[in-house]
Chains A and B, each alone.
Chain A
Amino acid sequence: MLEKVLYGSKRYYTWIVFLMIIIIFGFTAYLEQFNTGLGITGMSRDVTWGLYISQFTFMVGVAASAVMVAIPYYLHDHKTFGPIVILGEFLAVAAVIVCMLFILCDMGQPTRFLNIVLHPTPNSVMFWDMCVLLGYLLLNLIIGWTILGADKKGISAPHWTKVLTYIAIPWAVSIHTVTAFLYAGLPGRYYWLTAIMAGRFLASAFAAGPALLIILCLILRKYTSFKTSKEAIQSLAVIVTYAMIANVFFFLLEVFTAFYSNIPGHMAALQYLFVGLNGHNNLVPFMWTAAILAFLGIGLLLVPSMRRNEKVLTIALAAVFIAAWLDKGIGLVLAGFVPNSFERVTEYIPSSTELAIVLGVYAIGFLILTILYKMVVAVREQSMVEH
């Protein structure tokens, strides 16, 4: 099937070349980091995790969200999702690979990464996170590849893929739960130390992931022969709507607990995010943007006439996606380090090298996604011709 990716339109090649250039750019930046150390990033003794880990966290959510297509289709026989389950599965594959690359970029001693496998440590959540991510990657790759292979031959997929898809559903929930547990069990980091963390993670993932998937479907519809039905898009949009409402609701629960209890440790990070703390307020504009976009997105999605208009829908989905990204891909990880163990505030500003590496990793993700989607489109085109 891989041969399908070699032939494409001029637009396709331009896109691939564009991604390649960014990847090379990012890779050069990574070599610089590899040679000089993580001191080249904006991270510090106080803010020990930055964009790499926050992007990792966000992308685990995108990966997990494939389940929002799989559950209606496999468990509730929601037929309209039939053609796009594979898009969800391949989005998950690309997202998990991006996650793994971000982890690698974040390591101080990347050449020792095998130590996690050589010295398995069940008391570390990071060990479990590696296990579930690896498992999830394999599951989706095998399921997607087999289904597409069967499609190509015009036969139905072997029965065991069905078993795997059932396994993949709770597995998807597990990857984001375990990722939330990375944070939710640390004493003294009050912004993270909350029982609702995994719930928040899943809600935000089930909003942002399908939002991205719809946008991808709309792009495919515009530029390729892969036409996702209006019904499928509308069903997914409803999922995005309620997941985002749950996400905002969970966040407001945090705000209530922190401010009604009036416990300084619980309030500090939220204050830092929305009004600034001790004169430090780098993230304030980002968080207010997130808040406005979240409400805008929900507002537009809730009104059926707006949601049905695909132009408005696109804006609403972009708003939801960006809001979720600012909240989880920026605020969540960084604010956990504020204030530090000595009640001081150190701020973090990513360096240009760091940004280049982040872009490079995302470009790799897009390249993988493009290749996988290209195969899907080509196989579907072929079967349309044959039948």
Chain B
Amino acid sequence: MNRRDFLKVIAAAGIGGIVVMEGLDDFRVEAAEMNKDSNALQAKHWGMVIDISKFQKPEDIQRVANACHQYHNVPDIKDPKHEVKWIWKEDFEHAFAEMESKYLSEKIKTMNFPVLCNHCEEPMCVRVCPTKATFKRPDGIVVMDYHRCIGCRYCMAGCPYGARSFNFIDPRPHIGMMNHDYPTRAIGVVEKCTMCVERLNKGLKPICVEVSRGGIIFGDLNDPNSEVRKVLRSNFAIRRKAELGTGPSVYYVIGGDEEGA
């Protein structure tokens, strides 16, 4: 490569960068405009309580997962190595592996636990991201800018919950029914649950909450009078790997007939 070619490459790279930046600016404006909506739901710290008693049958989680994945154009990829998932089913022994016990009650053992991004208070994914493509909003929700993500997957190594998926293959051919109101992702970027920030802006609760038939309670963890706080006051709740200091904002209660647990 001679000097001129080299300079050309540098110039091209620079222009590439500017294009990327401009793209981002558009994104920002859009986000700001959406925030102006007076109906927008607002909180200091959004969180969820998942009532496991409402997910007795595997179909209960499937219904929620399908609604979420369809709404967000999450591709349906069968190969577990490449699959993309925002919310899915695990059993107790895997979702709460650190609490393993030989003599677990049959009931707990066979229960289904929906797992998703915990929207951590101290999100490791945000800490490690080298481009701020993953960031935490003032309302506690951890979201991503897919246009900025370089696909280094450091966040996937950092997240202790396996909550993140990488688009190893082009997701678009694997989207069943396209939701034209929601963007698709490009190959080579990471994605995860967004707690439906775009729905909150329109004054709507997250889609999983809506279709969960009371199984997922959503609200402001910072507000003592919120529904989530009421549930947490009267129930024994657990969080995944809370001992790591990540501060997960997703709580699990056994719910229903508590003694049964």
Interface residues of A (CB under 8 A from B): 36-39, 43-46, 48-49, 103, 106-119, 121, 123-127, 130, 182, 186-189, 265, 336-337, 340-344, 346
Contact = CB atoms under 8 A, between A and B. Distances in A.
Nearest to B148: A115
Interface of B: 13-14, 16-17, 20-21, 80-83, 90, 93-95, 97-98, 124, 126-133, 148-154, 156-162, 165-170, 186-190, 241, 244-246
B150 A341 contact: no
A119 B131 CA distance: 5
B245 A187 contact: yes
Contact of A37 (B90, B95, B167): B167
Given A37-B170, A45-B82, A46-B162, A186 B128 contact: yes
Contacts, number: 147
B153 A49 contact: yes
Dominant SS among interface residues on chain B = loop
B99 to A, nearest CB: 11
Closest 4 CB pairs of A and B: A108-B151, A188-B160, A108-B188, A44-B81
Contacts of B20: 112, 114-115, 118
A110 B14 CA distance: 14
Contacts of A48: 153, 156-157, 166
Dominant SS among interface residues on chain A = loop
B150 A115 contact: yes
B220 to A, nearest CB: 26
A192 B165 CA distance: 21
A189 to B, nearest CB: 7
B157 A186 contact: yes
Given A188-B160, A341-B160, A37 B154 contact: no
A340 B16 CA distance: 36
A37 B188 contact: yes
Contacts of B170: 37
A145 to B, nearest CB: 16
20 contacts: A39-B168, A48-B157, A48-B166, A107-B150, A108-B152, A108-B166, A108-B167, A108-B189, A109-B151, A112-B131, A115-B20, A119-B132, A124-B154, A187-B124, A187-B244, A187-B246, A188-B160, A342-B162, A343-B94, A346-B81
A114 B10 CA distance: 11
